Amino acid sequence: MQTYIETPRLILRDWKEEDIPAFARINADPNVMEFFLKSLTEEETLAFYYRIQDELQNYGFGLYAVECKEDHAFIGYTGLHRFTFDTDFAPGIEMGWRLAHKYWGHGYAPEAATACLEYARKHLDIEELYAFTSVPNHRSERVMQKIGMKRLKMFGHPLVPPEHPLYMHLLYHIKL
Residues of the chain with pLDDT under 70: none
Q: Three-class SS of residue 120?
A: helix
- Specify whether domain 3-175 bears CATH 3.40.120.10: no
Residue 5, Cβ density class (10 Å: 0-12 exposed, 13-18 middle, ≥19 buried): buried
Q: What is the pLDDT of residue 1?
A: 72
DSSP 24-83: HHHHH-TTTTTTSSSPPPHHHHHHHHHHHHHHHHHHS--EEEEEETTT--EEEEEEEEEE
For residue range 69-109, list pLDDT tens digits in order. 999 999 999 999 999 999 999 999 999 999 999 999 999 99
Q: What is the pTM of this model?
A: 0.95
Q: What is the pLDDT of residue 3?
A: 85
What are the structural domain ranges in the chain? 3-175
Query: How many CA atoms, within 13 angstroms, populate the side-chain half-sphere of residue 63?
Result: 20
